Amino acid sequence: MTDKFSTIEQVANHKINQSKLPDASEVVTSLLELEKCSRKAKTDYSLSDLLGCWSLRFITGTKKTRKRAGIVLGAGKFIPQWLKIQITYESAQQSTPNAGRVKNSVALSFLKLSLSGPVKFVPDKKILAFDFTSLELTVLGVKLYSGYLRRGLEAEANFHDQGLKDQAFFRYFLIKDNLIAARGRGGGLALWSREP
């Protein structure tokens, strides 16, 4: 298990130490092994363990995307350093435990696109459900659009009343101070590292 975690740390820290990255299939194998160990572990997590800004480092895509992307996605893909994909979790300013907000942003040169919305963490399942209800588009630092997506206000109002079967979610199987890893509802794997 230590060996598998070391491979994952190498990927998560690749911007820091510029080390040679392991083979994508080795990363997938390590993630699968850590996911398997997580099912047996009785680790308690809460939304507070996820708070902060995280940069996406590695993805496998969903089963459907892998079929379509074929050789392009392969076993998995490292996120290139010129592409900044970040997810930020914040706690809610309300009495609802394990509720908060998410902001997912993609920055490419002068363009930045951000989606945000509510989240809820289900501790016993290690699941973080989310919905993107608003969008912000910035070009060269100038905000071109900021507002709700179609039916976003309604979706946000009803979010906490919906069951998991109706929501997008990540099932987190690895949460450490410097990195997190999860399987998405569609079956893809993802690995993020904490931004300083």
Strand partners, 148: 134
The size of the chain, in residues, is 196
Q: What pTM did the predictor assign? A: 0.87
More confident residue, 93 or 81: 81
Nearest Cα to 62, choosing from 192, 185, 194? 185
More confident residue, 66 or 2: 2
Identify the band that residue 69 occupies on the pLDDT scale cut at 50, 70 and 90: very low
What is d(CA 178, CA 50) in angstroms, rounded to the nearest whole number? Answer: 10
What is d(CA 162, CA 53) in angstroms, rounded to the nearest whole number? Answer: 26
Q: What is the predicted pLDDT for the residue at 71? A: 42
**Tokens (6 digits) for 85:** 């994909």
The pLDDT tens digits for 133-178 are: 999 999 998 999 999 999 999 999 999 899 989 899 999 999 999 9
